Amino acid sequence: MKPLVSQLWPQFMADPDFAACFGQVIVEHARMLRQDRQVEFTLRSAAPLDQNLCARLLASLQPDYEGFELKIKNLFGYAMLDEHALRILLEDMKRDGVPINGFLDRSSITITGQNITVGVCHGTKFLQEMGFEVTYLPVDHLGHISLEDLEKAIREDTILVSVMYVNNEVGAVEPIEAISQCIKKKNPKTLFHVDAIQAYGKYKIRPKKQGIDLLSVSGHKIHAPKGVGFLYIRDGVKIRPILFGGGQQKGMRSGTENVPGCVGLGVAAREAYKDFDARIEKLYTLREHLIAGLKPLGGVTINGSEDRTNAPQIVSASFEGVRSEVLLHALEDKGVYVSSGSACSSNHPGISGTLKGIGVKKELLDSTIRFSLGDLNTEEEVDYAIGVLGELLPVLRRYQMK
């Protein structure tokens, strides 16, 4: 049999872009082989596919597969939602786009925090372009909105308040039930949307008890396939679809259903709440161990709360005198993978609005990285990452000061 490169040589000659991409793959593979180890602290960006899902996904691709409806119904129990609550399975960024853009005939103002995700931000910007008024509430140094500010901002014509349950950059956790009570007290007609993408599987979410009208979740954060999520809609809430066609999913998301994605999401949702207390305790222990190891390195600032009022899976740290992009690549060379911001904004380079909002010093805005912890991480991996940072930081600081 001919070597792979020989087999692909005609395509190399005919398509320079293909050749360039293939070369990059070979270089990256060789670089990974040279590394003694790989430590992933980017699991909240896109968690790897749960290996237990693979057989189910392959089965769902067969033409005689009949488990689709059953899997959707099972999501009710897996998600800890009320019996008739889970209505729609939506794909990709449309999870947040539907609740944000589905009320254009009802009012003139939407309220959200400064620490929103790109998906929500684009939805609110679209409303502004259409002539609607949007209020962005400030956050405190820990990343929380003020209930007093929220109450003042709600008006008679306020249609929607959208809040992140857990901020994806610093891990700030909002008091969802208290926010709902504040909203309904000021204006019972105002709807409450919660972006629970970082909270699902980390907190026991009960929309009816917490007063949530709309709640969006993304599959790839909980080891499900990419490109699938779900939207909870409270009984009685009416919203417009943003996609039209065959009327699938009760007309809210027309188009042939993504059966493998839905199956994978159902299984992952079930797994997300297995051994819940033990898993959360492990994540908090890892987070505390990581923070305790970062502080002695010097010139390190932990953004957000350091205690257990913060989400268990996120650590945001600023490193004085080192640009985040430089540190990120230096860590990669040692087999440690982190991120310099949220994955949602990786295609939109710029200074984080969340970091600005919580008052991170100007000189540290471009020196911040995020560690995202997951079930697969270990204390030994945390120790390795801390040791690597201890070696790299003095060198990088000397280099960048020259």
Annotated catalytic residues are 344
- What is the distance between the alpha carbons of residues 168 and 352, in angstroms, rounded to a whole number? 11
Closest-CA residue to 368 (of 384, 355, 349, 353): 355
- What is the distance between the alpha carbons of residues 267 and 144, in angstroms, rounded to a whole number? 32
Closest-CA residue to 397 (of 316, 301, 330): 330
Residue type, 345: S
How do the residues of the chain divide into helix, strand and coil, expressed in percent and rounded to 5? 45, 15, 40
Whether the Cβ atoms of residue 165 and residue 176 lie closer than 8 Å to each other: yes
- What is the distance between the alpha carbons of residues 16 and 163, in angstroms, rounded to a whole number? 46
Q: Between the CA atoms of 238, 184, 178 and 236, what dihedral angle is there, to the nearest 10 degrees?
A: -20
Whether the Cβ atoms of residue 40 and residue 337 lie closer than 8 Å to each other: yes
* Sequence-separated (6 or more) residues with CB below 8 Å from residue 389: 294, 297, 331
Name the one residue in this structure whose structure tokens are 């994605």: 261
Whether the Cβ atoms of residue 316 and residue 169 lie closer than 8 Å to each other: yes
Residue 245 DSSP symbol:
S
- What is the distance between the alpha carbons of residues 167 and 359, in angstroms, rounded to a whole number? 15
Structure tokens at 343: 């994955």
